[in-house]
Amino acid sequence: MINVSDQHAPRSLIVTLYGAYGRFVPGPVPVAELIRLLAAVGVDAPSVRSSVSRLKRRGLLLPARTAQGAAGYELSPDARQLLDDGDRRIYGTPAEEDEGWVLAVFSVPESERQKRHVLRSRLAGLGFGTAAPGVWLAPARLYEEARHTLERLRLAPYVDFFRGEHLGFAPTLEAVARWWDLAAIAKEHEAFLDDHASVLRDWERRTDTPTEEAYRDYLLALDSWRHLPYADPGLPAPLLPEGWPGARSAAVFRGLHGRLRDAGAAFVGVRGEGA
């Protein structure tokens, strides 16, 4: 069994909950309901309240009243944009062929040098690799999400984007091994497989699907998985090392999503549809 406290921060689980189910609830999610739903994955009420407060301070959750007058929280417009962008990563599939690259080139005045660290960390968090100091790149399909992120953080004035192809001199297969730490990314895929492949095998042997169990296993799997497509930019298979574990971990997540997502929705009380 996964140790929730070790691997799943309450704040992350709340974001995952809204991404999977909460945004499909009509109106705000009542605080009492958040506490019930997070208790099912081992998070106590004080941790829920403090994590919600942090998310509110970050502008991701907005306090609101339900139609019955209960206190609750709904997603801010920025948070909805984040989740919409995330859907394409989390539920999408990597390109089969080289689709070209988007380059982000930034320059920050010395008087605002603290923004350099923010830019680097945000681009890395979006899956960009480093080609040279101040020059970052990613598969071309990540451009829109990167643009949304930098605009939201008011960092767009420091960055220029370009689309292009890699023309050498080193083969692209060798170059991507310099641009990304592929060994570290592979370890993240292996860790996901260690935690969740056996969960999928167990569900595949079952004929019943209790809604609370399905919700718990799905939410924990999604909370682990949703970070991986940001560490791994989804490079096409010909540019990856032989035996790359990303395809296997993606297959496990897709299996859990197909088996458990809709049953978990019944536990939450939303319709069995979504990403």
Q: What is the pLDDT of residues 141-196, one digit of tens each?
A: 889 889 988 888 888 888 889 998 888 788 888 899 999 999 999 999 999 999 99
Q: CB-based contacts of 229: which residues, under 8 Å, 6+ apart?
A: 89, 90, 92, 127
Domain boundaries, the chain: 4-78, 101-164, 181-268
pTM for this predicted structure: 0.85
Inter-residue contact 83 to 19 (CB < 8 Å): yes
Assess whether pLDDT exceeds 50 at residue 86. yes
136 HSE (CA, 13 A, CB side):
23
pLDDT at 2: 44
Q: CA 59 to CA 120: how far, in whole Å? A: 22
- More reliable by pLDDT, 223 or 3: 223
- The pair of structure tokens assigned to 77 is 């417009």
What fold characterizes domain 4-78? Answer: Arc Repressor Mutant, subunit A (1.10.10)
